[in-house]
Amino acid sequence: MTPLPCGWHDKVAPFHRLLMLRVFRPEKILYAFQLYVKEQMGDFFVSSIDTTMPVIFKDTTYCTPLVYVLSTGADPLQALLNFAATIDYSERLKRISLGQGQGEKAKILVADSCKNGNWVMLQNCHLAASFMQDLEIMVSNLQDAEGINEDFRLFLTSAPTDIFPVAVLQVSVKLTTEPPRGIKANLKRTYAGVTDEILDSCPKKPEVWNKLFFSLAFFHSVMQERRKFGPLGFNVVYEFNDSDLETSQQMLKNFLTEQDEVPWVAMNYVISCINYGGRVTDDWDLRCLQAQLKICYQESALDDGYIYSESGKYYCIPHTKAQGYKDYIENLPMVDDPEVFGLHSNANISYQRNESDYQVNTILSIQPRIGGGGGGPTPDEIVLARKNDILNKLPDSLDRATGKKELFKEKNGLLTSLTTVLLLEMEKFNRLLGVMKRSLTDIDKAIHGFIVMSEDLDSMYVSLQNGTVPLNWKKVGYESLKPLAPWYADLLDRVAMFRLWL
């Protein structure tokens, strides 16, 4: 982090540096948070943690299911299959993808597995709303039933949804994988489960297999990270996930095992146009994907020191064991330069600003509703003070009767176009002023306990506390990116302008 100029870096505390950075370079606050946490709490809290299935399995029992909350780019199936294979349980792992008509099959499978000690994986619970009540009863029975084989395990996967039974969550081990951020984090996640046995599993071309395995992992990481740039990365957002990478790795092994020479053209076509390209709907996105894969999948990529980007930070290391790749990945930069994606450095500005705003808004949203012991005003006092300030300055509605009569004289039975515009704008702003006056009065009553604090008022409370424009005002107002104070000053100027026009 570059020191603040004019000696201010040493004059202010680390947290105050964050405040200054928020004022002058808000898009950089994202990385400043990471450095601040690293300095104050240690590197552990900013490093990605790889949770392996053997570790998770120790927390499960025959009556304690594992609920895997699905996230973008995450698929736990392969990790579970690999773990089952290591303890010779592959044949005893049964799985059903829930959906229409699968509920009865799932109940029969669970009942049989409870007796013989098999494992059951029920996938995509969020697609089976009608089965959720049966699932709750099924899991509840596991707690009290007798005669259940202690080797039995129940694995559930579901996207975030309101229909998933709370009772099941309360007795389960919950696990979710946050999508990794950055090339380094993606590569670490890919190589977390890579062992020497996997890297030695292609004896016909071991060195080619190892290097192209890493090239494929790098390509997958780039595809995942390009999405953060929005339309600059891809015209359409695609949900590439672990299954795309695993399928491509298996096909790579098949090509190398079955062919005497490395079939570059066939491998590039299958991976770019079928495995990954099967999800791509835009021609230009497919062309971009093919160009990126060609960087990673070419004969030069087998040379030691081959670089994947102009900076030279990402390169092909000499043939080594799994730990050698993990050590190399550990030394990669935490923050990626846009050049690794073939983009200009300005591409980062929009992404960084959006991410920084999201983090700050998240921090504000979890602030407590009660005052601390520092002697400052409580949240209620802050909201009431802002309410009074806004309400005292709130102008009266715009009234056509107070305007000049000449404005509303009709010509050929019609008002002039400018007068029509004025009337429409008056209607819009009067509606906004009315909503503001009613909601400010209601928030005062709700804080003092005279009326119930509704969901809209609660959202408005948080917005007033954080200095942002309430959502119920935005719905009837006009588009603006300003925070509350300058937005209200702008509103007063607009209403004054229309009153002058009248």
CA–CA separation, 276 vs 227, rounded Å? 14
Instruction: Say yes or no: 171 and 63 in one domain.
Output: yes
User: In this structure, what CATH number is given to the domain that contains residue 73?
Assistant: 3.40.50.300
pLDDT tens digits for 11-37?
888 898 888 888 888 888 888 888 888
Mapped onto helix, strand or coil, the DSSP state of residue 156 is strand
CA–CA separation, 18 vs 1, rounded Å? 11
Q: Is 371 a member of any domain?
A: no
CA–CA separation, 22 vs 270, rounded Å? 46
The predicted pLDDT at position 139 comes to 87
How does residue 99 score in pLDDT terms, banded at 50, 70 and 90?
A: confident
212 within 8 A of 219, measured Cβ to Cβ: no
Q: What is the 3-state secondary structure (H, E, C) of 15-34?
A: HHHHHHHHHHCHHHHHHHHH
Query: Which of 347, 366, 387 marks a domain boundary?
Result: 347
| Selection from 59-63, 78-82, 234-238, 497-501 with the highest mean pLDDT | 497-501
Instruction: Say yes or no: 203 and 332 in one domain.
Output: yes
Q: Which residues contact 174 (CB under 8 A, 6 or more apart)?
A: 67, 69
Residue with tokens 């302008």: 497
Instruction: Say yes or no: 442 and 328 in one domain.
Output: no
pLDDT tens digits for 144-161?
777 788 888 899 988 888
Q: Is 418 a member of any domain?
A: yes
Q: What number is the average pLDDT over the span 372-377? A: 64
Percent of the chain residues past pLDDT 70, beyond the cut = 96
Q: Is 359 a member of any domain?
A: no
Q: Look over the chain and give the mean of its residue pLDDT values, rounded to a whole number.
A: 86
Query: Which of 324, 347, 370 marks a domain boundary?
Result: 347
Q: What number is the average pLDDT over the span 298-307? A: 88
The predicted pLDDT at position 477 comes to 92
User: In this structure, what CATH number is given to the domain that contains residue 276?
Assistant: 1.10.8.720
Q: What number is the average pLDDT over the span 256-284? A: 89
How does residue 364 score in pLDDT terms, banded at 50, 70 and 90?
A: confident
Domain count, the chain: 4
Is the confidence at residue 312, as pLDDT, over 90?
Answer: no
From the number of C-beta atoms within 10 Å of its C-beta (0-12, 13-18, 19+), residue 221 rates as buried
At 291, the amino acid letter reads A
The predicted pLDDT at position 44 comes to 80
Is the confidence at residue 476, as pLDDT, over 80?
Answer: yes
Q: Is 372 a member of any domain?
A: no
The sign one gets for the Cα dihedral 235, 239, 241, 244 is negative
**What is the pTM for the complete model shown?**
0.61
Q: What number is the average pLDDT over the span 413-433? A: 92
User: In this structure, what CATH number is given to the domain that contains residue 469?
Assistant: 1.20.1270
Instruction: Say yes or no: 193 and 172 in one domain.
Output: no
Instruction: Say yes or no: 204 and 333 in one domain.
Output: yes
The predicted pLDDT at position 347 comes to 83
Q: What number is the average pLDDT over the span 449-473? A: 91
Q: Is 288 a member of any domain?
A: yes
Residue with tokens 């119920």: 472
How does residue 95 score in pLDDT terms, banded at 50, 70 and 90?
A: confident
How does residue 369 score in pLDDT terms, banded at 50, 70 and 90?
A: low
Q: Which residues contact 209 (CB under 8 A, 6 or more apart)?
A: 199, 201, 202, 252, 253, 256
The predicted pLDDT at position 372 comes to 53
Q: Is 374 a member of any domain?
A: no
CA–CA separation, 9 vs 16, rounded Å? 10
Instruction: Say yes or no: 82 and 169 in one domain.
Output: yes
The DSSP call for residue 44 is G
Among 49-53, 68-72, 247-251, where is mean pLDDT lowest? 49-53
The sign one gets for the Cα dihedral 453, 459, 461, 462 is positive
Higher pLDDT, 365 or 269: 269
CA–CA separation, 291 vs 294, rounded Å? 5
Count the residues in the chain.
502
Q: Is 330 a member of any domain?
A: yes
How does residue 48 score in pLDDT terms, banded at 50, 70 and 90?
A: low
Instruction: Say yes or no: 266 and 125 in one domain.
Output: no
CA–CA separation, 73 vs 243, rounded Å? 9
Is the confidence at residue 392, as pLDDT, over 90?
Answer: yes
Instruction: Say yes or no: 280 and 312 in one domain.
Output: yes
Is the confidence at residue 371, as pLDDT, over 70?
Answer: no
Q: Is 93 a member of any domain?
A: yes
How does residue 1 score in pLDDT terms, banded at 50, 70 and 90?
A: low
Instruction: Say yes or no: 198 and 293 in one domain.
Output: yes
Percent of the chain residues past pLDDT 90, beyond the cut = 19
Residue with tokens 């059951």: 120
Instruction: Say yes or no: 105 and 210 in one domain.
Output: no
Instruction: Say yes or no: 192 and 332 in one domain.
Output: yes
Is the confidence at residue 373, as pLDDT, over 60?
Answer: no
Instruction: Say yes or no: 65 and 198 in one domain.
Output: no
How does residue 501 score in pLDDT terms, banded at 50, 70 and 90?
A: very high
The predicted pLDDT at position 244 comes to 86
The whole domain housing 210 covers: 183-347
How does residue 450 score in pLDDT terms, banded at 50, 70 and 90?
A: very high
Query: Which of 156, 176, 196 marks a domain boundary?
Result: 176
Question: How crowded is residue 208: how many other Cβ atoms within 10 Å of its Cβ?
Answer: 16
The predicted pLDDT at position 229 comes to 85
How does residue 176 score in pLDDT terms, banded at 50, 70 and 90?
A: confident
